[in-house]
Structure 1
Amino acid sequence: MPADGQDAMWSQGWEQAVRFREALLDGFPLPTLPAVPVRLNAGEVAHAELVLDYSRFYGQNVTYSQSSGFYFGSPLFVAAGLAGQAIGNSVARSRAQAMAAPQWREFQRVTVYLTDQRLLALVDGVRWLSWYHSAMMQIQPFLGQWNVVQLFEDCEPLRWSGPAAPWLAVALVRLGYGLDHVRDLPEMNLLSRPVVGGSPDSGATGIADDLSHGGHTPLM
């Protein structure tokens, strides 16, 4: 797809978020969907179907093997063998430490259903997961980097990225914290002006570091 086509997707996503925020502040309700292809709770209302890039932030246990051996021959040969073995073990240890460090993992593009109670997504193509708004302790909208991070009390941080992320950020702030936060939260005020450029800026900060940018499918 040409670069200008990609820029148009990002610009459209931003404009939709701007209009959505303005509509909420003008007293309009969230949109609703007549039906979704997943089973909802009794009385649960579906608001949107979105396509977003999903990732989670956590560390993990990693094991690695250290090589050992016996070297026979001249002192130079033995020294070279031991040095090579030490280097190999050091590389394996460093690689394992890097893999174990807390970082964003499970990168994938998913379809997300937003309801008045939660977010639902089919992860890895086999698992339906839910994240309830009532369990969300904090929301971090990094709109300049086109992503929104949710922090929970009992599970790993969750990140949603892509052209629809600003729209989702507005919806989550409204559902999780109320209309006052949609109006007054500093990050939400970014949506009072047009997007600058089409693609995400580099240099994300805080827990949103290392966001990988690329072509995304437009969302709504």
Structure 2
Amino acid sequence: MIAPGFLDPGPVYLDAPFHYARFYGTTATYGQSWTYAYGSPAFVTGAVVGNLVGNGIARARAENLAQAQWREFAYARVVVTPTTTWCCVDGRWLPFAHDAALEFVIDGPSCVLSFADVEPLRMSGPSAWCYAVMYAYARYGPRRWQEAPFLHPLREAVRSLAMH
């Protein structure tokens, strides 16, 4: 792969494809419909009830769409440098500074980073554990990377293998 132009000649710890997503809520609107019905009482009642049900469904759909959830699903090229995780999404390079991350969680084949000022970032794929190790190395340094709390499952797996 060709190195992005913004990278300095320093080390690159990882350059791999991932599934990318962000977690946030949004504003969703819906159109309230009105029905004018003329006819028998049963017909008018049916039209009013149908209109109420339709508006209720539209409102529930809008509320569901507005809830905080994983969004912006895309494939991303991820480049990890000593200070930043760079994600190329739809041709745009997005920087995520390692020292700005408040939390790093491994959830199965996904790594989730939480930040104070931007929406959480989830990167999933076969390289997730490799990313976790490279992120720990970049964040904690060559002497303390193995102590990263999110690497505990990996330490336990290695310990289990060593005992057999």
Structure 1 length-normalised TM: 0.65
* Residue 180 of structure 1 pairs with residue 144 of structure 2: yes
The question of whether the paired residues in 2 share the 8 Å contact of 1:139 and 1:173 is answered with no
Q: Any gaps of 5 or more consecutive residues in structure 2? A: 159-164
How far 1:36 moved relative to its partner? 4.4
- Structure 2 counterpart of 1:37, which letter? A
Q: Distance in 2 between matches of 1:166 and 1:44?
A: 23
How far 1:95 moved relative to its partner? 0.3
The question of whether the paired residues in 1 share the 8 Å contact of 2:19 and 2:124 is answered with yes
* Structure that is richer in strand per residue: 2
How far 1:42 moved relative to its partner? 4.3
Q: Name the counterpart of 2:65.
A: 99
SS at match of 1:99: helix
Q: Any gaps of 5 or more consecutive residues in structure 1? A: 1-34, 195-220
The question of whether the paired residues in 1 share the 8 Å contact of 2:81 and 2:138 is answered with no
2:19 to 38, 53, 58: 53
Q: How far does the alpha carbon of each residue in 1:105-135 deviate from its partner, in whole angstroms, 9 at most, with x for none? A: 0111211111112111221x23221111122
Q: Name the counterpart of 1:134.
A: 99
Q: Distance in 2 between matches of 1:164 and 1:85?
A: 50
1:146 to 99, 106, 109: 109
The question of whether the paired residues in 2 share the 8 Å contact of 1:136 and 1:176 is answered with no
How far 1:181 moved relative to its partner? 5.1
Q: Name the counterpart of 1:38.
A: 4
Q: CA RMSD in A?
A: 1.9
- Structure 1 counterpart of 2:74, which letter? Q
- Structure 1 counterpart of 2:53, which letter? I
How far 1:183 moved relative to its partner? 2.9
How far 1:139 moved relative to its partner? 1.0
Structure 2 length-normalised TM: 0.86
Tell me which moved more, 75-84 or 176-185: 176-185
- Structure 2 counterpart of 1:191, which letter? L
1:118 to 69, 81, 84: 84
- Structure 2 counterpart of 1:126, which letter? G
How far 1:41 moved relative to its partner? 4.8
Q: Distance in 2 between matches of 1:41 and 1:122?
A: 13
The question of whether the paired residues in 2 share the 8 Å contact of 1:36 and 1:46 is answered with no
The question of whether the paired residues in 2 share the 8 Å contact of 1:56 and 1:106 is answered with yes
SS at match of 1:46: coil
Aligned length: 156
Q: Distance in 2 between matches of 1:137 and 1:44?
A: 25
**Percentage of identical aligned residues:** 33
